[in-house]
Structure 1
C-alpha cells in the first residue's frame, strides 16, 4: 500500500532529481575551469557522457536510415555547440543567470509555433527577464562575452529541439547516445586544442567522469523515466524550475550571490517557461 500511495510522486521526484543533479554537476564542473578551462571541462563532460550512454544503450543494435542519421547528426552537433557555449558562458557570468538566458531558446521555439494572445504574456515575461539582466535596468553589470555565449547556447538549444523532433520517432536511448557521440566530435577537439595534455591527468580525468555522470548520465536517465510516466505539460512545468534551482545550488556550492533584480529576472524566465508549457498543452 505504501508503494502504491507514493508511486505517482516518483516521476515528479525524478524530474526534480534530474534538475538538481544537473545543477550540482555543473557547479562542480566549474572547479575544473582553472585547470583545463571551460572548453576542456566541456570536452570531458560530453566525451565521457557519450562513452557511458553508448555502453548503456548500444545503439548499433537499431537500424537507422540515412535520413535518421542526418537528423541525429544535426541534433548532436547542436547539442555539442550548446554545451560548449554554455560552459564558456558560466566561466564569466553566474550559473543561474546563464541558465535563465539559455532558456530563451526553447521559449522562442514554443512562441514561434503559436499565435494565441496569451503567448504574448509569456513573451513579455521572457523579455522582461532579459531586460532586468542588462545594466540599463540598474542591476550589476554582466560580462558581455558571457552573455553572448549564453545567447548562443540558447540559439543552439532551439536548434537542438527542432532537429530532435525530426529524430523523435527513434528510441530515446538510440538518438541520445548517437547524438552525444556527434556532439563529442565538436566539443572534444576544441577541448583538446585548448587544454592539451592537462586533460590526461588522472585527477582531471576522474573529475571529468564524475561531472559526466552527475550532470549528464543521471539527469538524462531520470528525465527519460519521468517522460514515460508524466504528461508532457507537467514535465515541462517542472523542468521550468531549472534556472531557479541552478541559482540556488550556485549560491550554496559556488557562493554566487545574485541581486534582487537578478532573482526577479530568473523568476520571469521560470514564469514564462511554465506558462507557455501550460497554455500550449491546454490548447492542444
Structure 2
C-alpha cells in the first residue's frame, strides 16, 4: 500500500525543525564556555532537558522489560557521549565545521544500509569533503584535537541513531525522557566536577535552561518522532542539511565565517548525503 503524503511530510518537517532548533541552541551554548566550560554546559543542557522531559512525558507510567531497559540505557549513553564530545570539539572548531565532521556518523549509517553501486560516488564525495576539513595539512585551518573530538562525536551520533530506533520501539515517546535521564546521570557529575559552583549562578542557570529547550528537549523529541516513522537510512541522509544549518546559525550568532575551501568541503558532504537520499528513494 503506498504511503500517504502526509505520513511522509510530517516526519520530515519534524526532523528539519529539530535541526534548526539544535544548531541554534549549540550556537547559544558556545557563549557559556568561558563561564562553565563545555562540560558544565553539557551538564546544564542534559540535566535540564531530563527534568523537563520527565515532567512532560512521565515515563514511569509505562513498564519496560529488561531487554527494553537495556535498549533505552544504550540510547541514553550514546546521547550523553555525543553531547559531551561535540561540545568539547566546539572549544577550538567552528560550529559548521564541527557538525560537518560529526555528520560522518549518520552518513556512515546511511551507507551501511544501502546496496546501490552508485553509492561509491557519494562515498568518494563525502571522503573528499572530510579530507578537506580534517587537519591533514596546514591549509585546513582546523585544530587536530577538536577535529578528533568531532569525529568521536560522529561515532556516538551513529550509535544514537541505531540505538534510538530500538529504544523508540521499546519505549515510544517515553524513551526520550528515560534516555535523557541516563545521559544526565553520566554527564552531570562531570560538569559539576569541572564547573563547580559556577553552575548555580542565576544567569548561567537561565542560559542553560534555554539551551536545554533548544538543543535537547525539543529537538530530541522531534527526532524520536521521525526515527520511528522512517527507515534508518532515510533518517541519516535527510540530515544532510545539518552542516549548512549549523554554518548559517554560527554566522550571525557567533561571527564564525568559513573559508571558501571549508564551505566547499561542507557542500561535498551535504551533496553526498543528498545523492544517497535520492538513491535510497529510487531503491525503495
TM-score (norm 2): 0.89
Tell me how far apart the structure 1 counterparts of residues 28 and 267 of structure 2 sit (CA, whole Å). Answer: 24
Alignment size in residue pairs: 279
Q: Which runs of 5 or more residues in structure 1 are unaligned?
A: 1-5
Are the structure 2 counterparts of residues 207 and 60 from structure 1 closer, same or farther at C-alpha, using a change threshold of 3 Å?
A: same
Q: Which runs of 5 or more residues in structure 2 are unaligned?
A: 1-5
- Are 2:103 and 1:91 aligned? no
Tell me how far apart the structure 2 counterparts of residues 57 and 18 of structure 1 sit (CA, whole Å). Answer: 18
Tell me how far apart the structure 1 counterparts of residues 166 and 98 of structure 2 sit (CA, whole Å). Answer: 27
Task: Name the SS of the counterpart of 1:169 in structure 2.
Answer: helix
- Are 2:61 and 1:61 aligned? yes
The aligned runs of 1:237-276 (5 Å cut-off) are 238-276=238-276
Residue 210 of structure 1 corresponds to: 210
Q: Which moved more, 1:51-60 or 1:133-142?
A: 133-142
Are the structure 2 counterparts of residues 232 and 152 from structure 1 closer, same or farther at C-alpha, using a change threshold of 3 Å?
A: closer
Tell me how far apart the structure 2 counterparts of residues 69 and 280 of structure 1 sit (CA, whole Å). Answer: 32
Are the structure 2 counterparts of residues 205 and 273 from structure 1 closer, same or farther at C-alpha, using a change threshold of 3 Å?
A: same
Tell me how far apart the structure 2 counterparts of residues 228 and 190 of structure 1 sit (CA, whole Å). Answer: 31
Are the structure 2 counterparts of residues 12 and 112 from structure 1 closer, same or farther at C-alpha, using a change threshold of 3 Å?
A: closer
Equivalent residues of 2:168, 2:228 under 8 A apart? no
Equivalent residues of 1:133, 1:265 under 8 A apart? yes
Cα deviation code 1:11-33 (max 9, x no counterpart)? 65544332222111110111100
Equivalent residues of 1:105, 1:155 under 8 A apart? yes
Residue 3 of structure 1 corresponds to: none
Q: Which moved more, 1:265-274 or 1:87-96?
A: 265-274
- Are 2:162 and 1:162 aligned? yes
Cα deviation code 1:188-242 (max 9, x no counterpart)? 1111111011111111111100100111222234445667888888765553201
The aligned runs of 1:61-210 (5 Å cut-off) are 61-136=61-136, 139-210=139-210
Are the structure 2 counterparts of residues 13 and 57 from structure 1 closer, same or farther at C-alpha, using a change threshold of 3 Å?
A: same
Cα deviation code 1:216-274 (max 9, x no counterpart)? 22223444566788888876555320110100110111011110110111111111222
Tell me how far apart the structure 2 counterparts of residues 134 and 8 of structure 1 sit (CA, whole Å). Answer: 35
RMSD, aligned CA = 2.5
Are the structure 2 counterparts of residues 33 and 268 from structure 1 closer, same or farther at C-alpha, using a change threshold of 3 Å?
A: same
Equivalent residues of 1:99, 1:242 under 8 A apart? yes
Are the structure 2 counterparts of residues 79 and 229 from structure 1 closer, same or farther at C-alpha, using a change threshold of 3 Å?
A: closer
Residue 17 of structure 2 corresponds to: 17
Equivalent residues of 1:11, 1:225 under 8 A apart? yes
Equivalent residues of 1:139, 1:261 under 8 A apart? no
Residue 3 of structure 2 corresponds to: none
Task: Name the SS of the counterpart of 2:64 in structure 1.
Answer: coil
Equivalent residues of 1:233, 1:278 under 8 A apart? no
Equivalent residues of 1:128, 1:268 under 8 A apart? yes
Task: Name the SS of the counterpart of 1:117 in structure 2.
Answer: coil
